[in-house]
Structure 1
Amino acid sequence: SNFSNEGIVFTVTLMLAGFAILTFSIGIVIDAISNGSLLELLKERKMLYKIARLRNHFVIFHHNEYTAQLARQFRLNHIPFVVVDSRKDMEEIAREHRYPYYVSEEAFTEVAFLKSHLSAAKGAISLSKNISDNITLIASVRLYEKELGRTPLLIISNAETQYDKERLKKLGADKVVAPPSLMAKRVSAMAIRPDMENVLEEFLYKPDTPIDMEEVYVPEDSWAVNRALKDLHLRDRMKVSVVGITEEKGRFIQMPSAETVIKEKCKLLLVGNQKGISRAKRIIIQTTRPGDL
C-alpha cells in the first residue's frame, strides 16, 4: 500500500535492467576468458610493468635474423633491450629467440614508443631490410625525442648500399651498418690474414675480453692537434696502441708510425684495455697538455 503502481513498475523495470546488465557483463567476461583475450591482456600488462622499470636500455625495432643475432650478443654482454614488432605471434618469437622483453606494435607509432619505454632508453636500433621502414623509424624517433625535450638517442640502423647508408645518416642515424660491405671486408681479411680473424674472434668479439677497440674523435681545440703520436705516450703510459687514423675527409691511415702528425677532427682507432682507452680519451679531448706527460 506504500507504493503506487507507477513506483512498482519503475522498480521492476530497474531490477530487470540491472539483471540484464549483470548478465551481459558476465557474458563478456566469460567470452574474454574462453577466447584468451583476458589472459593476453594480463600477460601484456605484466610485460609492460617489467619494461617500465628499464633504464638505459636499447629498443630494437623489426624482428629478423639480424635482430636475433644482435639479441644474442646483447644477452652475452648483459645489455638490456626490448624488441618491437607488429607480428601477432611475438610471444612465440620471443620465446624461441629468448627475447626477455617485447612489444607487439607497429614500430614507428607513439604507442610502441610508450610501451617500449623509449623515453628512458639509451638508443634505438632499426634493422629492417626495407629502407623505407628504417627512414620512417629514424624520423619518428627524432621527432619523439624533441617532443620529450630529452638528450638525443643513439640511433643505429642498417642499409644494403652505400647510397642508402649516407641517406640514413643525413636523416639522423648516428651509426649505419652495411652488411654486404662488412661481409666483404671480413672475408677479405680471412683470405689475406686467416690468423688475424682468429685474433678478432678471440679478443674483440667475446664478452669480458681484456682487449677492447674504440674510435676516438680529436676536436679542433685539442692539445694533441699537430703533434706526433709519440707525444701522447699512449703505448708506454696507458698500454694503448693507435692502429688507424681516419682523417676529416675520410682518408684512412692504417698502422700509423710514431712520427705521424695528428690532424684536427680526425678519429684515432685505439686498441687496449678499457681502462687505458678511457684514460686516453680523457687526455685527447683536453685543450691543454696534461702535466704528467
Structure 2
Amino acid sequence: MNRHIRSQIWRQFLVPISALILILIVGILGYIFIEGYTPLNALYMMVITFATIGYGEPQPLDAEGRVFTILLIIAGFTAGFYAIGKLSSFLLEGELAKLLKIKRMNTALENMKNHYIVCGYGKTGKRVMEDLLRTGKKVVLIESNPERNEKLKDFYDKNLVHIIGDATNDEILIQAGIERAKILIAVLTSDAENLFVTLSAKDLNKDIKVITRVEDASSAAKFRKAGTDFIISQIDLASDRIVSLATSTTDFFSFVELTDGKEELRDYKFRLVEIRSGSDLIGKTYREANIPQRTNLVVIGCYSADSDLQVNPKADDVISLGDRLLVFGKDDEITLLKKIGKEPK
C-alpha cells in the first residue's frame, strides 16, 4: 500500500525532475565541448547559472557559449516554473491530502477485523452505513458511482473506510478485507449485481454472513442457492410497514392520503382489483394465491360481496368470485394482477 503511495508521488514529479536533470547534463556537456571547460568548471557554471548568483564565468565565453547559456537559462526557468506549478498543485489542490487520506485508509484497513462491508451508497446503503457508524461499528463502504463518491469526499468518521470501486470485482472485495470481515451487506442497484457480490463474497470467505436486498421477490430462491444468509425483500418490508400503519390508524383513508404525498412512494398507487370469473385465484387461500410473489404487490385488504373492507386478510382466508382486493404497488404490477384476476383493462 505504501509502495502505491510512493509511486503516485513519483508519477506527479517524474516529468519536471527528469527535465531538470536533462538540462543539467546537457549544460555540463555543452560547456565542456563548446567552451572547453573542465567537468568541475562546467558544473560550477551550471550551478551559478541556475542559481542566478552571478559570480562570473570561470573563463570568458565566446558568442556560441553565450547563445548556449541563454538557451540554458530559458530552458531552466521553464522547467523550474513547471516544477513549482506541479508542487503548488500537489500541495494546494488537495493531491497530497488525498494521498495521505488513502494511506490512512489503507492502514486502517490492514488493522480491521470483524468489520461490516456495505456495497452501495444509495438511499438504503447510506442509511445502513450511518446506523452502523452510530452504534460504533467499523464499516468499509464500496461505491463506484462518481456522484455518490463526490458526496462522500468530505465525510469523515474514524470507523469508516471508503473504497472507490466496483463491489463485483474480487480485487475490491479483497481490498475491503473480505477475508477478515464479519458481515457483508449488498444493496447495489440491481439483483444481478447483488447476486454476483454474494457469490464472490462466499467464495472469498465461506464464514462471512451476507445480507442482501432483493428487488424481485421471485429471485429469492437464486440468492438462497448462492449462499445469502439473510434476504431483505422491499415488498415484504413495505407490506409489514403498510399493514402496521393501516391497522393502527383510526381512519385508513387518511393513511392513504398521507402516503400519496411521500416522494419515495410517488410511483406506487392504491387500487381495487376485482376477481372475475375464470381467474385461477378463485377458491384459493391467500397463501396459495401467492400474490406478492407473482406480482410484487402488497395486498392491503379485501372487499367481499357481504362485508366491508377487511384489512390485512389472513393467509388462510379464501378468495371468492367478486372479491375486490385493495393492493399497493406500481402500475405494471397492478395491470398484471388485473390480468390474473380476469378484470377487463
Q: Is the 8 A contact 2:137 2:159 kept in 1?
A: no
Match of 2:290 in 1: none
Note the alpha carbon deviations across 1:104-144, whole angstroms, 9 max, x for none. Answer: 2222234422442222111211101312221222233233x
For residues 65 and 116 of structure 1, the distance between their equivalents in structure 2, rounded to whole angstroms, comes to 21
Alignment of 1:270-281 (within 5 A): none
Q: Distance in 2 between matches of 1:42 and 1:168?
A: 39
State the SS of the aligned residue for 1:117: coil
Counterpart contact for 1:107–1:137, Cα < 8 Å: yes
Structure 2 contact 133–159 (Cα < 8 Å) conserved: no
- Identity of counterpart residues, as a percentage? 17
Partner residue of 2:151 out of 92, 100, 103: 92
* Partner in structure 1 of residue 89 of structure 2: 31
1:186 aligns with 2:241: yes
Moved over 4 A (4+): 3-7, 9-13, 15-27, 94-100
Alpha-carbon separation, structure 1, partners of 2:171 and 2:82: 31
Q: Render the CA deviation track for 1:232-260: whole Å, top value 9, x for unaligned.
A: xxxxxxxxxxxxxxxxxxxxxxxxxxxxx
TM-score by length of 1: 0.51
Q: 1:97 to 1:39 in 2, by over 3 A?
A: closer
Pairwise CA distance, 1:40: 1.1
Of residues 227, 250, 256, the one that matches 1:172 is 227
Q: Are the equivalent residues in 1 in contact too, given 2:185–2:212 (CA < 8 A)?
A: yes
Report the residue type matching 2:141 in the other structure.
V
SS in 2 for 1:45: helix
Task: Name the amino acid aligned to 2:152.
Answer: I
CA distance in 2, matches of 1:126, 1:64: 11
Q: Tell me: CA distance 1:65–1:20, structure 2 relative to 1, closer, same or farther (3 Å).
A: same
Match of 1:155 among 210, 216, 222: 210
- CA distance in 2: counterparts of 1:80 and 1:100, whole angstroms: 5
Q: How does 1:65-104 map to 2 (within 5 A)?
A: 65-88=123-146, 90=149, 92-93=151-152, 100-101=159-160, 102-104=162-164
The TM-score with structure 2 as length reference comes to: 0.45
> What is the DSSP-based 3-state SS (H/G/I as helix, E as strand, rest coil) of the residue aligned with 1:119?
coil
CA gap 1:18/1:121 in 2 versus in 1, 3 angstroms: farther
Aligned to 1:130: 190
One-letter amino acid of the structure 2 residue matched with residue 105 of structure 1: G
Equivalent AA in structure 1 for residue 211 of structure 2: I
Shift in alpha-carbon separation, 1:151–1:96, aligned structure 2, 3 A: same
Tell me how large the CA RMSD over aligned residues is. 3.7
Aligned partner of 2:285 in structure 1 is none
**1:113 alignment partner AA:** L
Change in 2 beyond 3 A, CA 1:20/1:76: closer
Q: Name structure 2 gaps, 5 residues minimum.
A: 1-31, 51-71, 250-345
Q: Which residue of 1 aligns with 2:53?
A: none
Higher mean C-alpha displacement, 25-34 vs 129-138: 25-34
Which structure would you say has the larger Rg?
Answer: 2
Note the C-alpha offset of 1:95.
Answer: 5.0
Deviations 1:12-32 (CA, angstroms, capped at 9, x unpaired)? 89x989999988765543333
**Distance of 1:114 and 1:18 partners within structure 2:** 46
Q: Any unmatched runs of 5+ in structure 1?
A: 195-293
Aligned to 2:309: none
Tell me if structure 2 keeps the 8 A contact 1:157–1:173: yes
Q: Deviations over 1:47-93 (max 9, x none)?
A: 23223322101100110111122223323433321211123453633
The 8 Å contact of residues 61 and 126 in structure 1, kept in 2 or not, is answered as: yes
**Residues 24 and 10 of structure 1, relative CA distance in 2, 3 Å threshold:** farther
Using a 3 Å threshold, how does the CA distance of structure 1 residues 28 and 76 change in structure 2: closer, same or farther? closer
Q: What per-residue deviation string (whole Å, max 9, x for no partner) do you get for residues 179-236 of structure 1?
A: 1112102322444467xxxxxxxxxxxxxxxxxxxxxxxxxxxxxxxxxxxxxxxxxx
Aligned partner of residue 185 in structure 2, secondary structure:
strand
Contact 1:159 1:178 in 2 (8 A): yes
